[in-house]
Amino acid sequence: MNAIKVHIKSFGCQMNKLDTNLVSASLTQAGFTLTESVKDANVVLINTCSVREHAEQRVISHLGHLKHIKQTMPDLIVGVIGCMAQRLGRELLEHQAVNIVCGPAQIPQISALIAEAIENNKKELAVTDNIRRPAPHQDTDALEKFESACAVTQKQSIPAQAFVRIMRGCNKFCTYCIVPYVRGPEVSRPPQAIIDQIKKLADAGTKQVTLLGQAVNSYQYNAGDKTYSLADILAKTAQIDGIEWIKFVTNYPSEKYFDEILKVMADSPKVCPYLHIPAQSGSDRILKAMNRQYTADWYLGLLERARQIVPQIAVAADFIVGFPGETDEDFNATVELVEKARYRNCFVFKYSPRPGTASEKKLEDTVPAETKQARNTRLLQVQEKISEDLNRDFLGKTVRVLVEGPSKKPHLNAAENDGNPQLAARTATDQIVVFNAQQNLTGRFAKVKITKTAPLTLFAQLTEPLE
């Protein structure tokens, strides 16, 4: 029999992109072939996200499309993996298009589930029954083996860069968030497994690693004689030859280990001076309703401390607008916080109730859609002005960038474009830089001089490729 061809479509966050890369690697190891085309595929896998309603709606509409395709391709196997699979379980399996439903903790079983679905021509369900109370070590050992086996052979989404998960799940229970219900409680991976994985990635040419966790600064691993924190993982990673840049996302505003983490950043040139630390709101009343364990003033004090320890640090954050009960006054407090925080960039999301979360169960979604939209637009405008000011400071400066590949859309006009291909790169502080180069420098570091700035992009000229 010819190799079974699998097409994978991925929705959602970096954690999901990493899962998609790992699943792709595991399927290749198991003898499946990956294909970019649905028409060419025997199996379509959709890696789903439940964090926002919009993401789930896109998956449902995609399943409708696949149901249609299955009329002409009746043998096509459709599998849904990821957070939505865990959240909806059997309900999703009842969808006409769906053959396999597999939660995030069950992805090591995906090859077997596909083989069984094909062979037995029956629907397959693999999710954790009680995600908040998984049996001791349930799935964790299998996930650890899967992660270690697939991480190094995974195809990187961006050349020379890799995501490395250092922990799974979340214990914070922000009232709007589905993650603790679909990814389970926090489990930190053993430090040696993480370091071994990064060493192998470095040997395979990886130059930048991004350490991932839902609240990555909560990482804590008790090895008996020592308790390891994110600060220890950063320090150990910085000792690995070949790894030049280390980033970590995303951080929950917390005292615990904060200074230690920032001190490693200050001491090691490899740890990028970039801190993504979502505030979510500037209103203490809303923060309390969100079950975020801090006030706006305390949060701003934390940023001040970060800037004292690492003066060149760039800070970024996420915000939710239109949380139940958010008044104009609450929203104005958020605007004020953004103005004071002087973020390098901000991501703004409109609140949508997620079934099963505390806010969905207890709070009415009171803010009208148009108000949410208006607040979203206004907050982005406030941030755009700040980003523009901060980016202007870069004019004329020479910065080191890691090149990600050809720029997706042409940014430079004819007068500025010398006819060479435009490349997109990022600074250590996560700014996008576009420049022209005769050679393909994808996956390499380069030094560029900033010649023009915009709120979201820096434009530059190559001064020297480094390596």
Q: Which is nearer to ligand SF4, 215 or 458 (CB)?
A: 215
CA 371, 377, 382 angle in degrees (round to 5)? 125
Q: How far is C-alpha 214 from the geometric centre of its chain's CA atoms?
A: 9
Distance CA 401, CA 412 (A): 18
Stretch of 37-45, 173-181, 261-269, 396-404 contacting ligand SF4, by CB under 6 A: 173-181
Regarding 172 and contact with ligand SF4 (CB under 6 A), the answer is yes
Shortest gap between Cβ of 313 and ligand SF4 (angstroms)? 21
Which listed residue (174, 211, 277, 346) binds ligand SF4 by CB under 6 A? Answer: 174
* Residue 214 sits in the site that holds ligand SF4 (CB under 6 A): yes
Residue 173 within binding range of ligand SF4, rule CB under 6 A = yes
Shorter beta-carbon distance to ligand SF4: residue 179 or 303: 179
Closest CA to 314 of 270, 344, 278: 344
Decide whether 174 or 425 has the Cβ nearer to ligand SF4.
Answer: 174
Q: What is the DSSP string of 141-174?
A: HHHHHHHHHHHTTSPPSSTTEEEEE-EE------
User: Does position 215 bind ligand SF4 by CB under 6 A?
Assistant: yes
Nearest to 424 by CA among 438, 442, 399, 439: 442
CB of 207 to ligand SF4, least distance (A): 28
Q: CB under 6 A: which stretch of 5-13, 14-22, 175-183, 220-228 binds ligand SF4? A: 175-183
CB-neighbour burial class of residue 196 (10 A; exposed 0-12, middle 13-18, buried 19+):
middle
Please return the burial class of 394, using the count of CB atoms within 10 Å of its CB with bins 0-12, 13-18 and 19+. Answer: buried
Per CB under 6 A, contacts with ligand SF4 among 217-256 are: 252
Q: What's the closest the beta carbon of residue 457 comes to ligand SF4, in angstroms?
A: 28
DSSP state of 280: B
Q: What is the x/- site pattern for ligand SF4, positions 122-161, by CB under 6 A?
A: ----------------------------------------
Q: What is the footprint of ligand SF4 within residues 252-291 (CB under 6 A)?
A: 252
Helices (H), 393-460: none
Give the shortest CB-252-to-ligand SF4 separation in angstroms. Answer: 5
In whole angstroms, the minimum distance from the beta carbon of 178 to ligand SF4 comes to 8
Structure tokens at 198: 């990064």
Among positions 170, 380, 446, 462, the unique one binding ligand SF4 when judged by CB under 6 A: 170
User: What DSSP letter does each residue of 374-388 carry, written as one string?
Assistant: HHHHHHHHHHHHHHH
| Cβ atoms of 220 and 124 closer than 8 Å | no
- For 425-439, give the DSSP string: EEETT--EEEEE-SS
Neighbours of 49 (CB within 10 A): 21
Quick one: 176 or 274, whose CB is closer to ligand SF4? 176
In this complex, which beta carbon is closest to ligand SF4, that of residue 146 or of residue 176? 176
Considering the rule CB under 6 A, would residue 179 count as an interface residue with ligand SF4?
yes
CB of 183 to ligand SF4, least distance (A): 8
Q: How far is the CB of 212 from ligand SF4 (least distance, A)?
A: 12
Sequence-distant (6+) residues with CB within 8 A of 435 are: 422, 423, 425, 448, 459, 460, 461, 462
Shortest distance (Å) from residue 280 CB to ligand SF4: 8
Q: Which two tokens stand for residue 371?
A: 């108000």
Does 180 engage in binding with ligand SF4 (CB under 6 A)?
yes
Q: Omega before 327 cis (within 30°)?
A: no
Stretch binding ligand SF4 (CB under 6 A), from 150-158, 174-182, 300-308, 309-317: 174-182
Q: How far is the CB of 165 from ligand SF4 (least distance, A)?
A: 14
Query: If binding means CB under 6 A, how many residues of this protein chain bind ligand SF4?
Result: 10
Q: Tokens 């939209």 — which residue?
A: 373
Nearer to ligand SF4, 172 or 263 (CB): 172
- By beta-carbon proximity to ligand SF4, the closer residue of 9 and 288 is 288
What does the DSSP 8-state code read for residue 78?
E
- Choosing from 43, 177, 265, 287, the residue that interacts with ligand SF4 (CB under 6 A) is 177
DSSP-derived secondary structure for 100-118 = EEE-GGGGGGHHHHHHHHH
Q: Rounded to the nearest whole angstrom, what is the least distance from the CB of residue 425 to ligand SF4 in the complex?
A: 29
Which segments within 278-412 are labelled E, that is strand? 314-321, 345-350, 398-406
Residue 254 or 332: the one with the smaller Cβ distance to ligand SF4 is 254
- Measured from the CB atom, is 167 or 179 closer to ligand SF4? 179
Site of tokens 């979604």: 365
What whole-number distance in Å separates Cα of residue 186 and Cα of residue 194? 16
CB nearer to ligand SF4: give 206 or 250: 250
One-letter identity of residue 401: V
Nearest-10 Cα torsion for 456, 9, 217, 261: -50
Positions that interact with ligand SF4 (CB under 6 A): 170, 172-174, 177, 179-180, 214-215, 252
